[in-house]
Amino acid sequence: MFKTLKSAMAPTHSRQQVLLFRLTLFFIIAALIYFFYWLFYARHYVSTDNAYVNGNVIPVTALVGGTIVAVDVNDTSYVHTGQPLVRLDDTDRQIAYANAKAELALTLRQTQQLYIKNKGLLATIKQRQLNLKQASLDLKRRQQAIHVGGISQEELNHAQDAFQIQSSLLTNAQVEWRANNALINGVAIREHPNVKKAITNLREAYLNLIRTTIKAPISGYIAKRSAQIGQVVAPGNPLMAIVPLEELWVDANFKERQLRDIKAGQKVTLHADVYGHSVTYHGWVYGFSGGTGTAFSLLPAQNATGNWIKIVQRLPVRIALNPAELRQHPLRIGLSMEVTVDRSSMITSQPTINYANSTTIFKDLDAGVDKVIDDLFQKNLHQPSEEDDMYLITPQGKPLQ
């Protein structure tokens, strides 16, 4: 009976050994496959799903104060560089601009009087010099005539008095000319300090008027619009933001231990949760943040006080995206991404990426006022180019030829 039981258990024991052998062989093969997979592929890649789309958020602010009378855009609207966004009531600015033009016109006329007066004083000096020369000749003749009894002493005294009077008149004219010439100081009318101040005031009034229309500094989509009709704003108040969606990147937050072999220029593949794995983006490591997230937080960790618990830190790594792929499959700031960095390869050439670092809409804003200034010169000066030279006196007191 014992032999019969032993013979019955033998096949079962044999099957268990075979099953155990097969399982052992399976795990060994699986381990070898994973080892070779890791050796030749996986160890070169590092991934994280703690990554988000980021980009420039360009603030639009008021340059001058006033009341909003029109808002021409809404959230999600696409705007082009220089497109009007908000208009402020410009009544006060129009009045200030008109006053500045009148002030410049008046200053030009008053300043021109200094040059005309200077010319008149030069003519007076010349006349006084002739009168003094004549008085000097008369005095000499009378001094000679008195020795031969040709004139009386009283007549000689009158000649001496006339000479002194003409000398005093010449001195007074010269002093008055020097005082008036000091106000001119050898410059043309356009370079006169009073005129330059009036021109500056006109430019300022013109700029304040132009700035009542707030324009887009860059092309992009409107976001965070807070401007409303009737709202009173002050210079610097935020009105909305513009997001240029063609200039996005990804901030991938890698753990400290993952950063060891990551270098700028390495290839990166990315997938956005909004598209899933059906869309693959290609990029490269653009650079590393200057500190971890906690280092720049509002309340950084105080590791030197109290009980200390080590927390694995994450460092933001900027990933540049291929502009062509970004145009084909647009992203939005804040979307989640899956990032995989290939630490074994480097990109050979980087596509050109022009991030929004400058705008030209504020350049030469006052260019339009130049024609206004020229018109005011033309209307309020008599032949200004010739008159300036005619009345211009050098610092040495000699008229320019």
E strand or H helix at 338: strand 336-346
Q: In the structure, what pLDDT confidence band is assigned to residue 311 with cuts at 50, 70 and 90?
A: confident
Sorted by where each begins, the domain ranges of the chain are 92-209+363-391
pLDDT tops 60 at residue 394: no
What class does CATH assign to 92-209+363-391? mainly alpha
Total Cβ atoms within 10 A of residue 46: 21
Instruction: Give the residue, 24 or 158, on which the prediction is more confident.
Output: 24
- Amino acid 383: pLDDT: 58
- pLDDT band with cut points at 50, 70 and 90 for residue 365: confident
- Structure confidence by residue, pLDDT tens digits, 84-108: 999 999 999 999 999 999 999 999 9
Which of 269, 384, 250 lies closest to 318, judged by CA? 250
The pair of structure tokens assigned to 99 is 């006053």
**Is residue 69 within 8 Å of residue 87, measured between CB atoms?**
yes
Per-residue model confidence (pLDDT) at position 42: 55
User: Distance (Å, rounded) from C-alpha 143 to C-alpha 151?
Assistant: 9
- Note the Cα 250 to chain centre separation in Å: 26
Whether residue 39 is predicted with pLDDT greater than 70 in this model: the reply is: no
**Residues 106-149 pLDDT 10s:** 999 888 877 777 777 788 888 878 877 887 777 777 777 776 66
C-alpha dihedral (274, 276, 278, 280), degrees to nearest 10: 80
Kindly report, residue by residue over 156-174, the tens digit of the pLDDT.
677 777 778 878 877 887 8
Closest by alpha carbon to 59, among 220, 213, 212, 250?
220
pLDDT digits (tens, 9 = 90+) for 331-364: 999 999 999 998 887 776 666 666 667 888 888 8
pLDDT digits (tens, 9 = 90+) for 182-219: 667 777 888 888 899 999 999 999 999 999 999 999 99
243 bridge partner residues: 221
Q: Is the pLDDT of residue 242 over 50?
A: yes
Element (H, E) at 22: helix 2-40
Residue with the larger pLDDT of the pair 43 and 143 = 143
- Percentage of the chain modeled with pLDDT above 70: 83
33-61 mean pLDDT: 81
pLDDT in the model for residue 269: 92
Contact criterion met (CB below 8 Å) for 181 and 118: yes
Q: For 250-260, how does the pLDDT look when each residue is reduced to its tens digit (9 = 90+)?
A: 999 999 888 88
pLDDT at 395: 40
